Amino acid sequence: MGFMRRTVAELVRERWGDHRPGLWFEGRVLSHHQVTAGAAARAALLADLLPTGAEPHVGVLLDNTPEYPMWLSAAALAGAAVAGINPTRRGPELARDILHTECRVLVTERIHLPLLAGLELPGVRVLVTDTEEYADLLTAYEGARPEAGSVSPDDRLLLYFTSGSTGAPKAAICTQGRLAAAGSSLVDHFGVRPQDTHYICMPMFHGNAVIADWAPALAAGARIALRRRFSASGFLPDVRACGATYFTYVGRAVQYLLATPARPDDRDNPLRTGFGTEAGAVDAAAFEQRFGVRLVEGYGSSEGGAAIQRTPGTPAGAIGRPAPGDDLAVVDPQTRTECPAAVFGPDGLLLNGSAAIGELVNRGANPFEGYWRNPAADLARRRDGWYWTGDLFYRDRAGFLYFAGRADDRLRVDSENLAAAMIENILARYRGAAAVAVYAVPDPVAGDQVMATLAPREGVPFDPRAFAAFLAGQPDLGTKMAPRFVRIVERMPVTATNKIHRAALRRAGFRCDEPVWWRPAGEPDYRRFGPADERGLLTEYRARGREGLLPATTRG
């Protein structure tokens, strides 16, 4: 891959001798040189710990502490790869992630040791960072220098798990060359300066934090600031304390921040930019108005197969145009033909969503590097010689692309294809909601019905009449889009990466412990969904042979 000539190891070595502040964590500051020296010591330790002939893989089961970027840098120097281990995984699934990626060394901390209790991890050496034993082990390597070695741009550096609606998570491969190129690209795109500070509050076991936050900071020689775990209440105090100018986000984190009590000094912060995905136009506008910070919605397939860049003149609601060199198309996955351009009404309403929305594919060369030991998943991504992103988009006549959700979040209501993300963007305008998720539940006859889960704002009880009136007043809410079921939760369930846990919501459907309101066909108002309603619906499903489409009840 000729466009990936630099290595992350080179970027790490460039910080040797740089005594400017390089890392902020809980009020402590390390210089770039100290971070690089720590990485060199860990690289030397890793070289001694890895058995001869073993894959050079180290699992990292840590919160966002200084050890995480040091081990990323150490792996780069050693020509090894970090497998980011998700601390929300449990039991056999957690063991499977560690063993599947063939980690012979696992770096963790005492807070996560209970997760490992009772697991069978043959041949895995566990290092616990906040112990005297670990400190003593590193002492012998304190004089190590970040040697050049024989590191190649094609060496694996990351094995990061990507979630899916079915099956075990897949470990996507990212090489030193791709990560270095991604970091440099974002430096150019956002004008990152050495005096900037990148605030990393998204979990570092996920590609969002490493590729879009840590890598550009490393490439520019900027400082990083770490938050052990995302905290909405701790966000602004951290940003002010460390002087953060840039951060990455996912949409749910933005919703958490907007749900905090507003203060007169919210705009008193050093941030210039937030970069992320799925915030939605309504939340992005509210965030900028309240905090004075522009959120830039971006798109880049975690596996590297497709990217969209926001450029001047990008219309409201659009992500941008394809990155240079990418041959991106929106296609119907059934016919493999390109979808027609979007048609908008005078009020901006998408008039032909059923035809215009399709899966985004890259028909040209792309840097997708595959999954670790998963040829079936590789083939699924590379069907027909194209890279299939698994994401739904539509394109306007000028070539701008608009995100419409995940392919597995498509709904089919009365033979009309709908995208959950588009309905969510409309429901996000409802003032009584702190967060909204939309997903499909099977219809008793055919196709799907729309279900929404709503987390009300603090102190604002759900008002079914007000919600129905709100829906009636939305000009872009199509006749098939209004939720049939509305589940009310105190707090939206999220994954470890702060994305809404739609899989869990879909599994529960309308048979859950929280209150559910519904609007039966032909009725104008929402009413409580009770045991008699459930029995009646189940009778309909059985009569049409569709009861098997319903997930088992989750009620205890």
CATH ID of 299-409, from 3.60.21.10, 2.40.50.100, 2.30.38.10, 3.40.50.1980: 2.30.38.10
Name residue 156's amino acid.
Answer: R
Structure tokens at 158: 């990351």
**In terms of pTM, does the model score above 0.75?**
yes
**How crowded is residue 68: how many other Cβ atoms within 10 Å of its Cβ?**
25
Give dist(CA 316, CA 27) in Å, integer.
39
The predicted-structure confidence for 340-351, as pLDDT tens digits, reads as follows 999 988 877 778
Least confident of 38-47, 55-64, 230-239, 500-509: 500-509
DSSP H helices, 433-490, are 464-472
pLDDT number for residue 454 = 96
Query: Which of the pair, 9 or 90, is modelled with greater confidence?
Result: 9
Residue 166 has pLDDT above 60, yes or no: no
CA quadruple 540, 543, 545, 546: dihedral, nearest 10: 0
Residue with tokens 């075990």: 168
Give dist(CA 230, CA 495) in Å, integer.
12
What integer is the mean pLDDT of 430-448?
88
DSSP H helices, 247-368, are 251-258, 281-291, 353-356
pLDDT number for residue 412 = 76
Give dist(CA 306, CA 86) in Å, integer.
25
The string of DSSP letters for 54-72 reads S--EEEEE--SSTHHHHHH
DSSP-assigned beta bridge partners for residue 454: 436, 488
Give dist(CA 455, CA 473) in Å, integer.
21
Give dist(CA 278, CA 253) in Å, integer.
10
pLDDT category, 316, cuts 50, 70, 90? confident
Residue 281 has pLDDT above 80, yes or no: no
Give dist(CA 260, CA 248) in Å, integer.
18
pLDDT number for residue 535 = 93
Domain with CATH 3.40.50.12780 in the chain: 8-182
pLDDT number for residue 167 = 60
Residue 270 has pLDDT above 50, yes or no: yes
Give dist(CA 191, CA 416) in Å, integer.
43
Give dist(CA 476, CA 350) in Å, integer.
8
Name residue 302's amino acid.
Answer: S
Q: What is the mean pLDDT of the chain?
A: 91
Domain with CATH 2.30.38.10 in the chain: 299-409
Q: What is the DSSP letter of 490?
A: S
**How crowded is residue 229: how many other Cβ atoms within 10 Å of its Cβ?**
13
Biggest CA pair distance of the chain: 76
DSSP-assigned beta bridge partners for residue 176: none
pLDDT category, 549, cuts 50, 70, 90? confident
Residue 232 has pLDDT above 60, yes or no: yes
- What residues contact residue 341 under an 8 Å CB cut-off, 6+ apart? 356, 395, 396, 397
Query: Which of the pair, 435 or 476, is modelled with greater confidence?
Result: 435
pLDDT number for residue 94 = 93
Name residue 422's amino acid.
Answer: M
Residue 163 has pLDDT above 80, yes or no: no
pLDDT number for residue 130 = 97
Q: Which helix (H) or strand (E) holds 180?
A: helix 176-190
What integer is the mean pLDDT of 159-170?
74
Least confident of 111-120, 159-168, 324-333: 159-168
Query: Which of the pair, 92 or 416, is modelled with greater confidence?
Result: 92
Residue 165 has pLDDT above 80, yes or no: no
Give dist(CA 174, CA 371) in Å, integer.
9
Q: What are phi and psi of 258, to 5 degrees?
A: -70, -25
% of the chain residues with pLDDT over 70: 96
Tell me the CATH number for domain 417-549: 3.30.300.30
The predicted-structure confidence for 103-150, as pLDDT tens digits, reads as follows 999 999 999 999 999 999 999 999 999 999 999 999 999 999 998 678
Residue 265 vs residues 15, 249, 300, 376: alpha-carbon distances, Å = 36, 22, 34, 52
Q: What are phi and psi of 522, to 5 degrees?
A: 85, -5
Give dist(CA 12, CA 245) in Å, integer.
22
pLDDT number for residue 240 = 98
Give dist(CA 504, CA 514) in Å, integer.
14
pLDDT category, 499, cuts 50, 70, 90? confident
Residue with tokens 């079921």: 485
- What residues contact residue 158 under an 8 Å CB cut-off, 6+ apart? 81, 82, 84, 172, 173, 174, 179, 207, 210
Q: Are 549 and 509 in contact (CB under 8 A)?
A: no
CATH architecture of 8-182: 3-Layer(aba) Sandwich (3.40)
pLDDT number for residue 553 = 55
Q: Are 449 and 484 in contact (CB under 8 A)?
A: yes
The predicted-structure confidence for 376-417, as pLDDT tens digits, reads as follows 999 999 998 999 998 889 999 999 998 877 777 778 787 567
